[in-house]
Structure formats: structure tokens, C-alpha cells
Chain A
Amino acid sequence: MAENDTPTLALELRRGVIVLATLSQLRTPRYGYELRQALAEGGMPIEEGTLYPLLRRLETQEVLTSEWRTNEGAPRRYYVLSTEGRRLFKRLTETWYGLNEAMDRLLTNGGSDGR
């Protein structure tokens, strides 16, 4: 049972950090494909079908701002953190470090077979 659930649980675990990973790469303006490449190079590949709608949702929530640029050939929509987005990014980063420390402690000292 747990064996069968592993991919889903791992996916959910990963899903929790997608927003933070995305925000981390939008301190400077990037367009969707470029952002996806940057995330993949950083070890966090995200499916395009997940990432592109996420950018729009974050923009709707006023976490990101965007603008069309056509100076490099094809028209591309560039996203960057808004003022609110920068504040959110800071808060989520602190939460992430807190969680990371807590999980380190729990995984190291958690049980008899803790590794």
C-alpha cells in the first residue's frame, strides 16, 4: 500500500516547494521557457503544464507582475516579483529554512532506525 502511494506522496512533497522555487528565480524578469530552464538547471524541473498556469495564477494574486517584450524576436511575456511578491518570497524563505532545520532534527533523531 505504502509502496504504491510513494510516487503520489513524493509528488505532493515536491508540490509544496514549487511556488518558492519559482519565486526564487523571478527576482529578475524571466519569461516562461527561460524560467523553466533555470529551474531545471537548478535541479528543480517543473512540467510546463504546471509552471505556465502557475505564473498566471501568481500574477492574478498580485505576487508577480508581467509585461510583453518583443525586442528579442518572438513576443514573450516576462514575469518578475512585485513588491508584495518580494515580501512573500522573504516570508516563504524563512519558513523554508525553519522547516528544513526542523526536518533535519526529526530525520536525524526521529526513531530507532533514523538515518
Chain B
Amino acid sequence: MDVDTLIDAYVQDVAQLLPRKQRNDVALELRELLREDLQSRAEAQGRALDADIALEGLRAFGAPKEVAARYFEPRTIIPPTETRRFLFAAIIGIAVLIALSPLGNPPPQSGDLGEAIFIWLGVLVTYFGLQGIVQRRKRVSQSWVPRGRDNVNRLVPISFIVLIFVGIVAYGAPGWLFSQITRGGTLSATLDYDPAFYSSRLPVLFALWLCQAVLLAVLAVRGRWNPWLRRVDVGLGVAVIAVLIWFVAAGDIFKSPALNKAAPNLISAIVLFLLIDLGVKLYRGLGNLPSGGERHSLSGKRPVGQ
């Protein structure tokens, strides 16, 4: 290749990575500047400009992708501050999908698992990308507002208590609820539970939900989390996940074979969601910085003047 061909090839590689409206203008300018730069490089070496010097100079100029990137304000899909959370969510999600895949009914093929992992990663990229856009806009328009990490809006636990009781009624007496809503209607017999499931396994879940309702009631009264409440919350979360996995593994849930085929997949999806929620809670719990008072008690020292 001669010098002009090398320069043209380099400029073309840079320009094609630029926005269309900038492309021709930058290419024209860059071509002339590179020619002068390479000429000066050759003169500094006391040689005539040849392909070797041109190649060396163009390589020193930088890889076309890097050079093209310098023409923009840096933009990232996932903001650097969110990279750890993204990786954490990705790894937890993939681990859960792999762990739950044997529970699927029918068991998924390896291609299905790969597809599920890609869907999960796609969801995460979309979520963090949108969050990044919102954050960039907020940064311009809003200033930081301090918030207590342990403080709770009392309406939230109260709403969850209501939700738990609605859930217990909906799952414990679906026929009764349906007849109340439809003023005397009868629920399809295909939704009937397997008697063993209804009498021995489902009540365990209700008992755990009642425990969670008590925890939420305490939280609503206190208006704040404390380390013990957080530990109980995580413990109950683990127990609910264990019970749901037990449901999938222990046998029929409904009388209908068709529903028994579909139910494990739905429960697995719920377990995935609960595991991610649990992972986030543990991650935040482990990442909690000690408060001012805790720091002083850890070091055994108090600030001067106290």
C-alpha cells in the first residue's frame, strides 16, 4: 500500500464510526492533518515519507475506534456507578436460572436455558440503561435530598399486610372469593387443589405469610428498620423460598394434570424474583456502612468534646 492509500483507509475507518453529519467534514480535515503529521514525522527521522513511516505514525495516532470515541462526549449504557449492581444482578439471576432449570416441567433444553439467560441480561441492560437516562436528566434538574436508610413510609408495610390477607383468602378459599366477587358464581373445577397439597402443604405457606404480616405490623408501628427486624425479614424470606421449592418438588398442586404441568414454571419464576429480592437485601445489609455512633463504639473512642 502507498502512503495515500494507508491514510485513506485509516480515515475511512475513523469516519464510518462518526455521526453521518460529521463524517465528511472530519474525514477531510483528518486526512490533511495526518498527511502533515506523517510528513513531519518523516522529516524528523531524516527520511522521505514512505509506507513504513506512515503505518507507524497511524498506529501511534491510535486505533480508529479509540480516535472516533474521542470525538464524542463519553456516554455509557450502564453508568460506572451501577456496574457492580449490574454484575451482581446478572450473576445472581444466571445462577438462579441454572439452579432452577431442573425443576422446570418439562425440563428445559440447554438452548432454552441459554435463551433465558440472554433474556435476563437483555432485561438488565434495558433497565440499567433507562435508569442511566433518568439519572442524567435528574442530575441536571435535581439536587441531593437526604433520606434515612432505615426509615419506612408506614403506608408501605400496611399495604403489604393488606396484600398478605388478600393473598391468604385468594389462595385459601378461591371458590368463596370468586362467588363473592361474581355474586354467586362458581369457580371452574379445574382450579381445585390436590387434597394433600391443600390440607398439609399450603397452610405452611400461610403460616409464614402470617409471620411476615406480624413483622410488617411491627415495622409499621416502629416506623424504622433495625438489625433484628432485617434478620427476621431475611429469615422469613428464605423460609418462603424453601417452601415454594418444596411445593414444586413434593408433587401435585392441583387436581388438573394440565395445571400441574404449568404450576412449577410459574412458581419457579416467583422463586427467581424472591431470590433476587433476597440477594439485594443481603447485599445492601452487608454493604451498610456503620453509622457515626457505631464507628465510635467500634474504635472505642469518642470524638474530642463528647
Chain A positions within 8 Å of B, measured between CB atoms, are: 31-33, 36, 47-50, 52-54, 56-57, 74-77
Residue of A nearest to B63 (CB): A49
Q: Do the beta carbons of A53 and B71 come within 8 Å of each other?
A: yes
Task: Indicate if the CB atoms of A49 and B73 lie closer than 8 Å.
Answer: no
Any chain A CB within 8 A of the CB of B239? no
Q: Mark interface residues in B119-162 (1 if CB within 8 Å of A CB, else 0).
A: 00000000000000000000000000000000000000000000
- Residues of A contacting B72 with CB < 8 Å? 57
The answer to whether B33 and A48 touch across the interface, beta carbons within 8 angstroms, is: yes
Cβ–Cβ < 8 Å partners of A53 in chain B: 67, 70-71
**In the assembled complex, which residues on chain B have CB atoms less than 8 Å from the CB atom of A33?**
33, 36-37, 40
* Assembled-state Cα–Cα distance A56/B26 (Å): 9
How many A-B Cβ pairs are below 8 Å? 44
| Number of interface residues, chain B, beta carbon within 8 A | 22
Q: Could you tell me if B33 and A49 are in contact, using CB atoms closer than 8 angstroms?
A: no
Q: Is the CB of A54 within 8 A of B70?
A: yes
Which of chain A's residues have a CB closer than 8 A to the CB of B26? 56
Within the assembled complex, what's the spacing in Å between the Cα atoms of A40 and B67? Answer: 20
**In the assembled complex, which residues on chain A have CB atoms less than 8 Å from the CB atom of B22?**
56
Residue B113 CB within 8 A of the other chain:
no
B 6-31 binary contact with A (CB < 8 Å = 1; else 0): 00000000000000001001101110
CB<8 Å pairs between A and B, sample of 13: A31-B33, A32-B29, A32-B33, A33-B33, A47-B60, A48-B37, A48-B61, A49-B67, A50-B70, A53-B70, A56-B26, A57-B70, A77-B29
Evaluate contact between A57 and B73: CB separation under 8 angstroms. yes
Interface status of B300 (Cβ within 8 A of chain A): no
A-B CB proximity, top 10 nearest: A53-B70, A49-B62, A33-B36, A53-B71, A49-B61, A32-B33, A77-B29, A49-B67, A74-B32, A48-B37
Residues of B within 8 A of A56 (CB): 22, 26, 71
Q: Which of A52, A54, A75 lies at the interface centre, i.e. has the most chain B CB atoms within 10 A of its CB?
A: A52
Query: Is B2 on the interface with A (CB-CB < 8 A)?
Result: no
